[in-house]
Homo-oligomer: A and B are copies of this chain.
Amino acid sequence: MAEKWSFLQDQDVLDFNRDIERYHLGPLWHAIPDLMKHQPEPHAQAYLWKYSLLEKKLMEATQIFTPDRGGERRAIYLQNPGLNYRKPWGWASTTQTLYAAVQLILPGETAPSHRHVQNALRFVMEGEGAYTIVQGERIFMERGDFLTTPNGFWHGHGHPGTKPMIWMDCLDIPTIYFLGGTFFDPYPERLQEPEVPDNYSAQRYEGGMVRPISDRYPKKAPLAAYKWKRTHEALEGLSRFEPDPYDGYAVEYINPSTGETACPTIASWMQKLPKGFHTKAHRHTHASIYHVFEGSGYTIINGVRFDWEKGDFFVVPNWAWHEHVAEEDSYLFSTNDLPILEKFGLEREEAFENNNGHQTVTGEFTPVLG
C-alpha cells in the first residue's frame, strides 16, 4: 500500500488538492484510501464507564436539570472518546451509530411526552414506582424491565413513587442525524393521558410463544414492556444446555408480530455468563454497548482488559476482538446496531483462531472514577 499511495504526498499533488478545494472539489483518489478502508477502522474506541461515576453525576445533575427549568430529559449520555471529532458538528456519540445514556427521575417529577423519528429503548437499572406512558399505555417500570418506543410513538414519564429511579436509554440519534431526516413533536399537554389499562401490553403477552390474534399483522410495538421476570425464566431454560462459545446464554427481545428485533434499528440482547465462564474471542462489524445488570468480571477488547461490575457500561466498537470472563454469575444487557448494518449487507463476523480462541492481554483499562 505505502508504495501505491506515496504520490499523495508529492508537492504537485498537494498543490492540486488545494487548488480544486477552492471550487468545492476534492480528489477522489485521495479520499479512497482515507474512506474506503480494506477493513473497518472505526473511530469509536473501547471504553468503560463506572456506575459509581454515573450515579454521582446524575445526582449532581438534579441541581442542574430541573423540570421547571425546561428541557426534555435528565439524562447523561456516554461520549466515545474516539468520536470527539464529531463535536464541531454535534456531539460525540457512544458508538458510530448509537447513543447510550443513563436517566434519573425523582419522585414527584414528570418528563414531558414527545415523539420523534429516532427509535428508542429503555432498560431499568434502579428504583421503582415510576411509569412511562407510551402511545397511551401507562407502564410501571421495575428493575430489569426492557421497554421500547419506536419511531413516531408518543412517550413521557412520571414518578408517583418514593425513591429515585434510574434507567438506561439507547437511541439511534447519530444515525438519524447523519441521514438528515429528523422530525420531533412535543405533545400538546405535558403528559399524554392513558387510553388503555396500566401495563396493558405486558399482560397481553404473559405466556409462551403465542400472541393475541389481533396482533397477527405487523405492528410497530405490540408489546411495549418486557418484564425481567419473564426474561429471567427464558435464560434459566436456556442455561440447561451448552452455552454459546462466544455469547454464553443470550436472548434477543423480539417484536411478536414480525419476529424482528423489538426496536427496528437497535438489537437488544440479555446474556447470562455463569461464574467462571470464559467466552472465545471474535469480532463483527456491528458495535455493542454493554450494561452490567448483575455480576462482575472482565472483557478483553483488542488485547486490553476491561474489568466490570454491577452497573458499569462499556463499549465494544465495530470489528474489535472481544471475549468475556465472568467472575460471578453475571447478566449483561447489551444493545447493538446489527439491524442497521444488515440493511446495508455489511454484517461480517470472524472468529479469533489462534491460542484456542483467546487473546493475549497486552494492557488494562484504568477507569475514571470522578
Q: Which residues of B contact A28 (CB under 8 A)?
A: 73, 75-77, 99, 101, 103, 169
Contact across chains for A259 and B255 when beta carbons are under 8 A apart: yes
Q: Chain A, 1-12, contact with B by CB distance < 8 Å: what is the 0/1 string?
A: 001111110001
Q: Are A70 and B3 in contact (CB under 8 A)?
A: yes
| Total copies of the chain | 4
Interface residue? A341 (CB, 8 A): yes
With an 8 A cutoff between CB atoms, is A205 at the interface? yes
Q: A260 at interface (Cβ–Cβ under 8 A)?
A: yes
Which of the segments A179-187, A297-305, A352-360 contacts the partner chain? A179-187
Residues of chain B with a CB closer than 8 A to A117's CB: 344-346
A159 located at the interface, meaning its Cβ lies under 8 Å from any Cβ of chain B in the complex? no
Q: A70-B5, A90-B35, A208-B230 are in contact. Are A181 and B285 (CB under 8 A)?
A: yes
Query: Which residues of the other chain, B, contact A241 by a CB distance below 8 angstroms?
Result: 197, 200, 203-204
Is A53 close to B, CB under 8 A? yes
A347–B151 Cα gap in the complex (Å)?
12
CB-defined contacts of A180 to chain B, threshold 8 Å:
40, 42-44, 96-97, 285, 287, 317-319
User: Chain A interface residue count: which class?
Assistant: 35 or more
Q: Across the interface, which residues of B come within 8 angstroms of A49, CB to CB?
A: 23-25
> B6–A70 contact, CB under 8 A?
yes
Q: Does A365 contact B (CB under 8 A)?
A: no
Segment 182-227 of A: residues with Cβ below 8 Å from B? 182-185, 197, 200, 203-214, 216, 218, 223, 226-227
Partner-contacting stretch, out of A122-130, A231-239, A273-281, A322-330? A231-239
Find A75's partner among B29, B65, B204, B211 (CB 8 Å cutoff). B29
A-B contact pairs, 11 of them (CB 8 A): A5-B70, A5-B71, A7-B70, A13-B64, A26-B76, A26-B78, A26-B91, A40-B180, A151-B345, A203-B237, A265-B344
Rank and list the top 9 A-B pairs by shortest CB-CB distance, nearest first.
Answer: A207-B234, A208-B230, A259-B259, A206-B237, A181-B346, A28-B75, A210-B251, A207-B233, A181-B285
